[in-house]
Amino acid sequence: MSSSKRFNLSIGAHFPNNPRTRDRVIKNNAKLSKEGPDSALEFQDQGYTRPKILFLLPTRNSCARMVEIITTLAGTPDQVNKDRFETGFLGNSTTFSADKPDDFRDLFAGNDDDMFRLGMHFTRKTIKLFTPFSRSDVLLASPLGLRMAIGAEENIDKKDKKKNKLDYDFLSSIEMVIVDQADALLMQNWAHVQFIFEHLNLIPKDLDPDLDISRIRPWYLQGWQSYFRQTIVLSQFNTPELSELMRLHSQNWAGKARLQPEYTGEIQHLGVTARQTFSRFSASSVAKDPDARFDHFQKVFLPDLLKRARDSSLASGTLVFVPSYADFVRLRNFLSTDDSLAALSYGSICEYADVREASRARSHFLSGRIKLLLYTERAHHFWRYRIRGVKRVIFYALPENPVFYREVAGGCLALSEQQVEGGIQAGDGTVRALFSRYDALKLERVVGSARVGKMLKERGDTFDFR
């Protein structure tokens, strides 16, 4: 993984083709032409298809920046379809409010559309943009855009499989994959990334009629092309999803490497003085973790929330941060249907809420009309709301992005301290978080590398910090 500065890290660091691959093919073509049809020369210098490099990127603006980097390094000023590219990828400049953080501005600046794909074709003097994938050297796409290009299994005509079939042959000879800003892709539909990797380096179903099989490299013919592919993942932090992606789909024979930074912990950088309590619960497996988390929340956290709901002086101001949408739906349904929770009025903001719904929930929370507010990690990722009226923060699970812990806990409590009426006194805010041993990566980023081991192994299950 990489930090936000994007340190280059290659996982599976052998790359069989250097940037002069096309030159080699052209030179070999010239030699064969010179020798004539009876030549004894044999060159195994090609893959099944032309595309060799794939970039997976989160937005059109990030694609535009990558194209700029590539063209600068290539030193090729002439670009075909440059005007069309600038119109489609550089428009829609965004104006942000002053309270938006720098990482948000960097990710969502410019055109933040996440549906795109682009082919680049290189000649000695020219770069052609928007070339068909079959004639492209480099492919740049969002996971959604590439998934749409491949097709959907549900659209396949079962009677005529040739109609609307999945088309992933153009990925058969990819020799380098760069997944940039993977932390942002996690906030999109990660299933698209998994699907793309499952269809990399497969033997094509339909071979190009002009393909000379005798010139295919041996490892392609033997079905070993995935072992010769370099996979590079750049992210601000590691997650189980990224680790699993590498475990399943990065099998390069030259090995793997991973950057593992030391974390000081976000608990030291809240910007406010608040009691931070971490409550550990046990789960026998990853699959049973959601149920164990829900049970722990009911037994340990819910009684206090109900007690506060019955005391008008303590009732309002509880923000519950829920990273997983599945957990969010479970909590929302529980609060809506359990009659014993009628006194606990609540609202919610998730990634699917429109601006009007989110504004209404925030307004009712600030006024005290609702006592508890559910808030998802993806909603915070896409909107970075500064929620007022927060007196207590409960992390149903820790966020993947450690910056969100500081922004939600420290930022919201700081806003409440600044309120003249109905707020909290400095140092009176509280933060509580649930975690299990399966949250080790997230916990390390929040509490720091020096503390995480003890919190996972010590006998006690409650840890307090200020």
The radius of gyration of the chain from alpha carbons, rounded to an integer in Å, stands at: 26
pLDDT in tens, 8-67: 333 333 333 444 666 777 777 777 777 676 666 777 778 889 999 999 999 999 999 999
Same domain as 343, residue 421:
yes
Mean pLDDT across 148-175: 76
Q: Nearest Cα to 466, choosing from 421, 423, 410, 424?
A: 410
Between the alpha carbon of residue 127 and those of residues 23, 50, 454, the distances in Å are: 15, 15, 55
Same domain as 176, residue 103:
yes
Residue 15's pLDDT is: 36
Same domain as 209, residue 80:
yes
Would you say residue 256 lies in a domain? no
The parent domain of residue 202 ranges over: 21-249
Would you say residue 258 lies in a domain? no
Last residue of a domain, one of 219, 249, 279: 249
Same domain as 317, residue 437:
yes
Q: How many domains is the chain built from?
A: 2
Same domain as 170, residue 31:
yes
Give 372 or 94, the one with higher predicted confidence: 372
Last residue of a domain, one of 249, 284, 311: 249
Residue 159's pLDDT is: 57
pLDDT in tens, 371-400: 999 999 999 999 999 999 999 999 999 999
Same domain as 371, residue 298:
yes
Q: Which two tokens stand for residue 220?
A: 């392609």
Residue 194's pLDDT is: 97
The most confident of the ranges 102-106, 323-327, 462-466 is 323-327
For residue 140, name the pLDDT band (cuts at 50, 70, 90): very high
Q: What percent of the chain has pLDDT over 70?
A: 87
Same domain as 153, residue 299:
no
Same domain as 317, residue 229:
no
Give the separation between CA 189 and CA 454, rounded to whole angstroms. 34
Would you say residue 179 lies in a domain? yes
Mean pLDDT across 338-365: 93
Mean pLDDT across 63-83: 91
Same domain as 271, residue 223:
no
Give the bridge partners for 79, in sequence order. 127
Residue 314's pLDDT is: 62
Of how many residues is the chain composed? Answer: 466
Give the separation between CA 442 and CA 397, rounded to whole angstroms. 9
Question: What CATH number does the domain containing 307 carry?
Answer: 3.40.50.300
Would you say residue 103 lies in a domain? yes
Would you say residue 122 lies in a domain? yes
Would you say residue 12 lies in a domain? no
Backbone angles phi, psi at 463, to 5 degrees: -135, 125
